[in-house]
Amino acid sequence: MINTEQRQRIIGLINREVVPAVGCTEPAAVSLCVAKATELLGCTPSEIKVRLSTNILKNAMGVGIPGTGMIGLPIAIALGALIGKSEYGLEVLKDVNDEAVAKGKEYLDSHNIDIKLFEDAPSNLHIDVEVCHDTDRVRATISREHTNFIYLEKNRAVIFKEEPSAAAGGNANDDAESAEDVKLDLLTVWEFAAESPLEELEFILEARRLNRAAAQLALDENYGHCLGRTMKDCGSPFFGDTPVAHMISLTSAACDARMGGAPVPVMSNSGSGNQGICATMPVVAYAEDINASKEQLIRALILSHLTSIYIKQSLGRLSALCGCVVASTGAASGLVYLMGGGYDQVAASVKNMVANLTGMICDGAKPSCAMKISSGVSTAMMSAMMAMQGHCVSSAEGIIDDDVDRTIRNLTSIGRDAMRATDLYVLDIMTCK
């Protein structure tokens, strides 16, 4: 049983990890760092130098920036300096408008932005920004989490420096399992979702509201590769009018909007909007199809999001492993709950997911992420169905362990450690095209 103190800590963890974000969280985090540095500078910088870790650079290169009709880091950096507000967090650019975009383009024409890879960055998620004007110079650094400032300096005077004890496990190189995290296992996740007082969990419905609104926008308009709209308008002869077709359409549509630069917020999970979408929309779509009760939807969404958070605790914020692997595993858990399954079936669905999707690479945030998310969604339904029929991949097969938590660790160790060389190779391909 989970006691009151532990339950409140888990609620706090979810509220920290499931937050609104406008646009892709990696360029948003870069914009946030630039905005903070500019605020400390006190004027528009004449020069901006940005140094980024591999995963930040990879995820920010090819994604649409909301409200701009443009992709990539330069416009995100320019707008961070011109109209960004650090108090907005990952919604730093929510005030963007046509006038701001025009000014941003003018700023880009002055060639005052320098972007480089931060070799041997202390974290997979690391952003170091220096802004200058005349003789004034400000440096701001975000590390390990998308809104976590660890260093602020103006004219060589340190304004803020994170104490070493505040870093993850006392080690800045450790992106996984912050010292402030609640230590989870899958059984704790299940008990929390299934047994907590319903009124303490209703906040998760905001994820449905935001992410479904983003999906509807993409179903009505053209964003990204229009996968969600294509599934809705043309998918019936191939996929039928089925729950899994509805799940793919709604989930990929929300991703179309986000990756295509729609100026709307989505509810993120563990620093990723796509993960928040993938943990939310399959559960919402299936709940709508079966006319699930409000309580069933709330508990299924909590189970999905908290399972994703749990997996990310050992994987880290950013890795070579596509985030849809994590979030769709959470979605599979939520689907099992909606199907009437219990903990054993949830554990089986997680093992089935790990057996299938392990190794899917992340090659940056971009419109085609909707296709990867759709693969995760269909696999989530398949894994949940198998689990409900008593079928589970066994420990004799691949990286699956009898213990579901060790199975998850096997997945995350591959994504965090074994695929590091893959990550560097992917970035090399992306930057040399």
Please write the tens of the pLDDT for every residue from 211-235.
Answer: 999 999 999 999 999 999 999 999 9
- β-pair partners for 157: 154
Residue 241 has pLDDT above 50, yes or no: yes
Q: Determine, yes or no, domain membership for 5.
A: no
Is the same domain home to 200 and 116? no
Q: Which two tokens stand for residue 204?
A: 């998760």
Is the same domain home to 124 and 194? no
- Mean pLDDT throughout 84-97? 93
Distance CA 61, CA 71 (A): 7
Q: What is the pLDDT of residues 13-22, one digit of tens each?
A: 999 999 998 8
Is the same domain home to 274 and 420? yes
Q: Which of 145, 170, 195 is the last residue of a domain?
A: 170
Residue 169 has pLDDT above 60, yes or no: no
- Provide φ and ψ at 321, rounded to 5°: -85, 130
Residue 171 has pLDDT above 50, yes or no: no
Residue 318 has pLDDT above 50, yes or no: yes
pLDDT over 90, % of the chain = 82
Q: Determine, yes or no, domain membership for 180.
A: no
- For residue 339, the tally of other CB atoms under 10 A from its CB is 17
Q: Which two tokens stand for residue 271?
A: 């620093």
Give the torsion through C-alpha atoms of 123, 45, 96, 70, to 10 deg.
-70
Is the same domain home to 140 and 243? no
Q: What is the DSSP letter of 86?
A: G
Buried (b) or exposed (e) across 140-171, using 16+ Cβ within 10 A? bbbbbbbbbbbebbbeeeeeeebeeeebbeee
Helix axes 369-388, 243-259, angle to 10 degrees: 150
Q: Which two tokens stand for residue 277?
A: 């979408």
- What integer best gives the mean pLDDT of the chain? 93
Please provide the distance, in angstroms rounded to a whole number, between the alpha carbons at the two ends of the chain. Answer: 54
Q: Determine, yes or no, domain membership for 121.
A: yes
Q: What is the pLDDT of residues 374-388, one digit of tens each?
A: 999 999 999 999 999
Pairing of strands 126-133, 136-143: antiparallel
Is the same domain home to 241 and 124? no
CATH number where 307 lies: 1.10.4100
Is the same domain home to 308 and 343? yes
Helix and strand numbers, DSSP H then E, in the chain: 17, 10
Is the same domain home to 428 and 381? yes
Q: Which two tokens stand for residue 215?
A: 């999906």
CA dihedral (141, 144, 145, 146) positive or negative: positive
Q: What is the pLDDT of residues 41-74, one digit of tens each?
A: 999 999 999 999 999 999 888 888 988 989 889 9
Please check whether residue 110 is in contact with residue 33, taking contact to mean a CB–CB distance below 8 angstroms: no
Alpha-carbon distances of 313 from 174, 273, 405, rounded to whole Å: 11, 17, 12
**Residue 227 domain boundaries:** 186-432
Please check whether residue 353 is in contact with residue 307, taking contact to mean a CB–CB distance below 8 angstroms: no
Q: How many domains does the chain have?
A: 2
Cα 2 to the chain's mean position, in Å? 27
| Residue located via tokens 């219990």 | 342
- Mean pLDDT throughout 2-30? 92
Distance CA 132, CA 140 (A): 12
- β-pair partners for 77: none
Is the same domain home to 164 and 192? no
Distance CA 90, CA 218 (A): 21
Q: Determine, yes or no, domain membership for 424.
A: yes
Return the amino acid letter for 303: L
Q: Which two tokens stand for residue 196?
A: 């907590």
Distance CA 84, CA 96 (A): 8
Please check whether residue 93 is in contact with residue 22, taking contact to mean a CB–CB distance below 8 angstroms: yes
The closest alpha carbon to 208, from 245, 261, 254, belongs to 254
Task: Show the CA angle centred on residue 379, arms to residues 349 and 426, nearest 5°.
Answer: 115
Q: Which of 138, 170, 202 is the last residue of a domain?
A: 170
Distance CA 251, CA 369 (A): 11
Distance CA 400, CA 387 (A): 15
Is the same domain home to 400 and 284? yes
Is the same domain home to 313 and 420? yes
Q: Which of 104, 137, 170 is the last residue of a domain?
A: 170
Q: Determine, yes or no, domain membership for 6.
A: no
Residue 179 has pLDDT above 50, yes or no: no
Highest mean pLDDT: which range of 52-66, 157-171, 276-290: 276-290
Please check whether residue 67 is in contact with residue 101, taking contact to mean a CB–CB distance below 8 angstroms: yes
Distance CA 53, CA 39 (A): 23
Is the same domain home to 69 and 196? no
Q: Which two tokens stand for residue 146?
A: 């998308």
Q: What is the pLDDT of residue 168?
A: 46
Alpha-carbon distances of 375 from 17, 211, 247, 300, rounded to whole Å: 24, 19, 11, 20
Q: Which two tokens stand for residue 175?
A: 């992106």
Q: Determine, yes or no, domain membership for 283.
A: yes
Is the same domain home to 267 and 199? yes
Quickly state the pLDDT bin for 311 (edges 50, 70, 90).
very high
Quickly state the pLDDT bin for 24 (edges 50, 70, 90).
confident
Q: Determine, yes or no, domain membership for 332.
A: yes
CATH number where 61 lies: 3.30.1330
Q: Determine, yes or no, domain membership for 11.
A: no
Distance CA 54, CA 117 (A): 7
